[in-house]
Each structure stands twice: as C-alpha cells, then as structure tokens.
Structure 1
Amino acid sequence: MAALAPGFAWLITGRVVSAVVHSTLIAAFVATARDMAPTGRKAAWGARITLGIGLSSVAGVPAGTLIGDTFGWRATFWALAALSLAATALLLRCPPPQDRPTRIRHRETFPGCRRLVLPLPLALTALVIANGTAGAFTLYTYASPYLTRAADFPSQAVTVLLFLYGAGGLAGNTLGGRAADRYPQAAVPVTLGAVTAALLLLALPTTARWTAAAAFCLLGTTYFATIPALNTRIVTTAGPSSPTMALTINNSAFCIGIALGSWLGGLLLAHGHTLRSLAAAGAALAATAVLVALTTSTRRRHDLPMAQPIA
C-alpha cells in the first residue's frame, strides 16, 4: 500500500496498517522465544529477539536510505514488502514449536496465580515502560541537533556517534537479558537508573565534547538494557494466563513512550528551551520510572509472594 500510494494520505494509511500488527507480531516472537528457552534463560532468549530488532535498526536505516536515494522512496517500501514475504515463507517452512509445556506446568503447580492478573500491576508496569522510553526518546529523537549544536560535534561525526549508540545498544541488550535472568527484581530499577544518570550527564552545561559522546553511547547501552528487563517484569506481573498479551501491552507502552518523548522534546524546543533541557526532561521521566518500578517491586514482595517463581 505504501509503495503504490498515489498520495500522502495513502502512504500514511499504509504505515498505520503495518503499525497495527506491530505490537502483536513482536509480542508473539518474544513469547515464542521465552517458551523455547531453557529454565533460567527466558530473559536472555527474549533478548535475542530484541537484539534482532536492534540489529535491523542499525542495518536497516542506512540500507533503506541508500535504496531510497538510489532508486526512489517507493523502492524502499518494495524492499520491505519483499523482506516481509521472505520472512513469512521462512516461518511457514520452519514453524516454531506450538506446545507450551512450561506454562501448563506452572498453571498446575500454582493454581492460585490467576489472581496475579490484575489491571493495576500491569498498568503500573506499562507506566514504567512508557516513562522510561519517553525519557530516552525526549533526547534521542533530536540527537543530531544535540550533537552538532549542544555538544559541538561536526555534522560528519553524527553518523559515527549514532552507530556507536546502536553498537552500545546491542551490547546493552545482551547484558540486560543476562541481568534480568539473574536479578529479575533489581534489573529494572538499576537499568533505568543508569539511563537517568546518562541523561543527567548530557544535561550538564559543563559537559565536554568527548564526555557528551561517552554519555550518549552510555545512553544507548543502558536504554537497550532496560528492554529485556521490562519484558521479564511485565510477563511476571501478568502471571501464567496470558504472557503474549502482556508482551503486547509491553510493546504498546514502548511505542507510546517513543511518541510521548518525541512530542515532549518538540514542545520544549518550540517554547524556546535549550537542547540540553531535553536531556534534563528525559532524566526526570526516567527517574519517575525508577520510582514507580521500586514501588511496584515493594508491593509485589509484600503482597504477591507467588510472583517470583513464575517465568
């Protein structure tokens, strides 16, 4: 639809149609990976899916730009359609296992765990995800002007710094998956706290150029480390009844956070605030996410003793 769009409205419609299934698709992939994972490795295996998302972003943005510049913007959407068809054919040829013995065993072993599926815990976890993501994207959406005008880098250095941000994200995603498996309660506040610290460094008016570069790469590492930790948190909060639905809520909260952070950053700039103030606003949102995460962790330890064994 996007490749054949006769006008802008049809192009946007095509993007909306693809976005409608995005959250469900990512949730199904992550849930399947977690179902296939051995005991104690669910977060790490789920992180492999989000690692693929990061890799596709790092490779896809320059590849899509190159295709569009060489053959026109429609060619980029034709390439995406071809890749989607190839992925569909691969899934039909090599379907993932359909049985989920681990979930059935949990349901039989912990029959009272249905009470964990409560709107409030899921809503609070979704709030943590949305706030933490919004904190990172309040600045990241405007990374190019921040790096050139606030941090005083030449425009030629922006591509390199964005690549380093992505490389740090790949490393952080892997480390975050391991941390979520070993320390499921601490992983979320620790990774979000690190995001807050990176944003605070970027907000300081005295931050030197190379300190800003290091903090920017740290932001990529720490933000991507939050993703597997938050995946694990929301699945654990939902309990064994519907982890795929919980992951759908999780991905939707990420998307809301991206939109909220981008909107907030644009609003601040439109009202004359500096680029460094975007980092400060992002740090405030991330710090709020840390506080909510700590509060929900305390509630679960005292009120929900059955949540810990659920993977």
Structure 2
Amino acid sequence: MLLPLYLLAVAVFAMGTSEFMLAGLLPDIASDLDVTVGTAGALTSAFAIGMIVGAPLVAALARNWPRRSTLLAFILAFAAAHAVGAITTSFPMLFATRVVAALANAGFLAVALTAAATLVPADRKGRALAVLLSGTTVATIAGVPGGSVLGMLLGWRTTFWAVAALCLPAALGILTGVPAGRVKEEATGGLTLRAELAQLKSPRLTLVMLLGALVNAATFAGLTFLAPVVTDTARLDELWISVALVLFGAGSFVGVTVAGRLSDQRPTQVLAVGGPLLLIGWPALAVLADEPVALLGLVFVQGALSFALGSTLITRVLYAAAGAPTMAGSYATAALNVGAAAGPLIAATTLGTAAGDLGPLWASGLLVAVALLIAFPLRTVISPGRRAEALR
C-alpha cells in the first residue's frame, strides 16, 4: 500500500471521530442546549443527510479539480465548521454546522475513495478500502472514547475544538503526500458525467447500495443511543460509556481487517456467515443489556460484524460502479450515509415506546432482518461471478 493511502486514512480518522463522537456526548449536548436526547440525536442524522446530498454533488463538481487541493480545501472547511460548533449556544446553529461539516466530509470521502481505488491494482479495491476505513475504526477505538472522556471532564465543546485541531496535521499530510493530479485525468475511460450517472440504473449497483444502507442504518441506530443503555440499563458509571465505545471500535477494526482480505473474492461467504450472526446479536444485546459483562462482550462482537458486513457491501459498490470511475466513491459514501441518517431517526421513534432505552437495539435487529430478506434471494447478484456481471 502506498503512503498517500495511509495519509488519507489519517484524515478519515479525524472525520470519523467527529461522525461517531456524538454517541458519547448526546446527553451533555441535550442538557446544555435545552433539548431532549432524541432531538439531540438528530445531529447524527444532520451529518448523514449532509453526506448523502454532498457526496454525489461535490464529486460531480470536483471531477476536473486538482485532487490534492480539493482534499485540502475539504478538510480545512471541516475544521472551520467544528470551530463554529464549539462556540455556538444555539441548537439550530449547531445543527447547521453539522450539515456543513458533513458536506466537507462527503466531498473529501468521495474523492478519497476514488483515489484509493486508483492507487492499487484493480483486484485490490477491498484492501484499499480497508486501509481507508481503518481511519474510521481507529477513530471508534481511540478518537471517539477519547472525545467522550474529554467531553465529560471539560465539556462537549472541548471535544469539538479537539477535532478541529486534529484536522491540521492531516491537512499537512495531504499537502505533502497526495499527488496533485486532477481527478478526471487519473480516471480511466474518459466517460462523461451523464454516462457515469447512468451506472445508477444497474440492478447490481442499486442492490448493494441498498444493502449497505440498511446494514449501516442498523449500526447507527444502536450505536447512537448506546450511552443511555450503558448508564441506565446496565447501571454503569459514565466512564463505562467510553469503555463500550472502545470495545465497539476494536470490534470494528477487527471486522474491517478481516473483511478487507475477503471482500474482493468472497463477499457472499462474508454475508452468509456474518449476516445471521449480526441479526442474532442485536436482540441478544437488548435482552442481556442489564448484564454488564454480556453487554460489553456483545458490543465488541456487534462492532466486528457490523463493519465486516458494511465494508464488504461498500467494496461491492465500488466494483459494481467500476463504469463510473470518478463517481464511484460518491455512490459508496451516499449508501453509507443514507443508513447513517435513517438509523438514528428510526431508533429515536422507539425511545417513547415500552422498549425505552433498548428500543434502538431492537430497531437495529429489524433493519438487519430486512437486509437479509432482500439479500438472500438475490445473493448471486452480489457475488463477483459471471451471473452477477450479467446484471450490471
């Protein structure tokens, strides 16, 4: 793997810390800005909505832009949005900064995913994606729990400042390590934007994007509202929220690493084994949430399974969108964040039911069940074999 790929992963670490950190900060944000925890959870959806809209839009605009300066502009805009978020006393303004940060993140990730695929041989996209996503998984292991502890000790605003500061060394790495070529010049085929957008009509691409969105929705539904489960249901101290997030992140790192070695050639096997286990895991987590040892163990397992399946499906998006060399990254980003937007919104509706704090975990299980019901009869479409290629 080339050094620029790891430098991109550093930037993804900063952005991943921001995207996931709200899981440990929602109660404090809600209290400080005088809103409910459910309303504060909409900040996660705001970020995801910005990613959904921004990924294809910015990727289309950036087709002819210099790659290095484009990535640099996005990460600096991301840092500025967090600086504004750190000083605002208005929930609508904080919501707006999350959308702006998401737009910058979307543009960065869309260009970075496409860049990562061009930095490795054509049959190593899964491994390249695993390196890039390792920035996200390391964020869940170190950045997010660290942000949670920092927020608990010094307030949630300090965490926003820390993310802004974290962007600066990542920006320096991009400036010194990423090639300055233009996106379109480095892509193959010389396709027009219309031709690349036409790839969205592919049944195979549509399917894997849908499945990726559903699995990611399940991940964010449970993760966003994990803090109340740890403190209220399991009756653990607030510091254990960080422990739970570390375990989820460690699991996600394991899942991405393993899937990175399998998703290029054996995606069907990953889904066939991991899918049912993930489906069982979310209800099990809900049932055993009042047992701290079981809760923490299952958090690790669910992190591993969620990211193994999610990264495998997003790798299949890149393969299925091979005919859209400059837009494929935006399709993968959009799929991820449709799920990230929908998951917390769906989960929030369960908080006022009899399920209470455990409602989001049950919602996660339901979302995985829907994904498997769709995937099972169409599993040959996901496979890289000839039958799948015929449906592209």
Q: Same fold judged by TM-score > 0.5?
A: yes
For residue 99 of structure 2, what is the aligned residue in structure 1? 16
Deviations 1:246-294 (A, max 9, x none): 3323222322322322222221121332444433331121021122233
> Cα–Cα, structure 1 residues 89 and 213, in superposed 2: closer, same or farther, change >3 Å?
closer
Deviations 1:56-109 (A, max 9, x none): 23322344456556776555444433433432332222223758999648x9xx
Q: Secondary structure at the match of 2:349?
A: helix
Residue of structure 2 aligned with 1:217, choices 286, 290, 300: 300
- The letter for the 1-side match of 2:215 is G
Q: Secondary structure at the match of 2:350?
A: helix
Residue of structure 2 aligned with 1:31, choices 90, 107, 114: 114
- The letter for the 2-side match of 1:280 is W
> Cα–Cα, structure 1 residues 156 and 60, in superposed 2: closer, same or farther, change >3 Å?
closer
Superposition map of 1:1-311 within 5 A = 1-4=81-84, 5=87, 7-8=89-90, 9-38=92-121, 40-65=123-148, 76-96=159-179, 98=181, 104=188, 117-118=200-201, 120-151=203-234, 153=236, 155-204=238-287, 209-242=292-325, 244-299=326-381, 304-305=388-389
Aligned partners of 1:231 and 1:247 also within 8 Å: no
> Cα–Cα, structure 1 residues 45 and 214, in superposed 2: closer, same or farther, change >3 Å?
same
Aligned partners of 2:259 and 2:311 also within 8 Å: yes
Give the Cα separation in 2 of the matches to 1:117 and 1:142. Answer: 33
Give the Cα separation in 2 of the matches to 1:86 and 1:214. Answer: 34
- The letter for the 2-side match of 1:33 is A
> Cα–Cα, structure 1 residues 209 and 126, in superposed 2: closer, same or farther, change >3 Å?
same
- The letter for the 1-side match of 2:83 is A
The TM-score normalised by the length of structure 1 is 0.80
Give the Cα separation in 1 of the matches to 2:161 and 2:167. Answer: 10
Give the Cα separation in 2 of the matches to 1:51 and 1:77. Answer: 21
User: CA RMSD of the aligned region, Å?
Assistant: 3.6
Q: Which runs of 5+ in 2 are unaligned?
A: 1-80
The TM-score normalised by the length of structure 2 is 0.65
- Count the aligned residue pairs: 302
For residue 110 of structure 1, what is the aligned residue in structure 2? none
Aligned partners of 2:133 and 2:256 also within 8 Å: yes
Give the Cα separation in 2 of the matches to 1:158 and 1:294. Answer: 35
Q: Secondary structure at the match of 1:268?
A: coil
Give the Cα separation in 1 of the matches to 2:151 and 2:341. Answer: 25
- The letter for the 1-side match of 2:340 is I
- The letter for the 1-side match of 2:108 is L
- The letter for the 2-side match of 1:214 is G
Aligned partners of 1:191 and 1:226 also within 8 Å: yes
Q: Secondary structure at the match of 1:269?
A: coil
